[in-house]
Amino acid sequence: MTLAEISLTGDLARPARLTVPDLLGWRQHRVRVAFECSTSGTQYHRFAGPRLYDVLSDAGPGFDPVRRKDRLRFLIAVTGSDGHHALLSWAEIDPDFAHAPVLLAVSIDDDALDRAGPQLVLPQDRCGARHISGISAIRVDGGYDWRQLVPATPAPGSAAAS
């Protein structure tokens, strides 16, 4: 039996390749979700698996853990084997910020996901659009210079504003 693997890459001290059996090494959490789907109505499922925060924290994200604001520039890109993508901020999963209980599910409705691969589950989402089946890659990236994304605006009353 071939096991699906997740590739953990990016700004991590310990990048890794993980399988569902590897993910069983972290504390397991169970959630019941109801995702409202626009095409097939509400879908109800039970998931179990480790929290994304725990797995990524063990991989050693490249921020200074003492400086809370340093974490705010980190993004997490999750890709499924079908090409589906989702993007989260580190602040969403960090206990000092939103502390969302995002899971890397190793089972759905008590069925193991060894061959299909883990699933990204965001129980707090009303719809399942960020739910990723068969995760193939998770990339942590903190290399953003937000100053390049936000145009410089002169302060009111400054010489540049005149």
Residue range 95-117: average pLDDT?
Answer: 95
CB burial of 83-108 (b: ≥16 within 10 Å; e: otherwise) equals: ebebebbbbbbbeeeeebebbbbbbb
Distance between CA atoms of residues 82 and 52, nearest Å: 20
Distance between CA atoms of residues 145 and 130, nearest Å: 25
Beta-bridge partners for 85: 79
Distance between CA atoms of residues 144 and 89, nearest Å: 12
Residue range 117-128: average pLDDT?
Answer: 92
Instruction: Return the domain boundaries, the chain.
Output: 5-147
- Whether 158 shows a pLDDT value over 80: the answer reads no
Residue range 88-95: average pLDDT?
Answer: 96
The yes or no reply on domain 5-147 and CATH 3.90.420.10 is: yes
Distance between CA atoms of residues 23 and 135, nearest Å: 12
What's the pLDDT score for residue 51? 98
Share above pLDDT 70 across residues of the chain, in percent, rounded to a whole number: 88
Q: pLDDT band for position 36 (50/70/90)?
A: confident
What's the pLDDT score for residue 15? 98
Using one digit for the tens of pLDDT, what is the confidence trace for 43-75?
999 999 999 999 999 999 999 888 888 999 899
What's the pLDDT score for residue 33? 94
Q: What is the pTM of this model?
A: 0.86
Q: pLDDT band for position 132 (50/70/90)?
A: very high
Distance between CA atoms of residues 112 and 74, nearest Å: 31
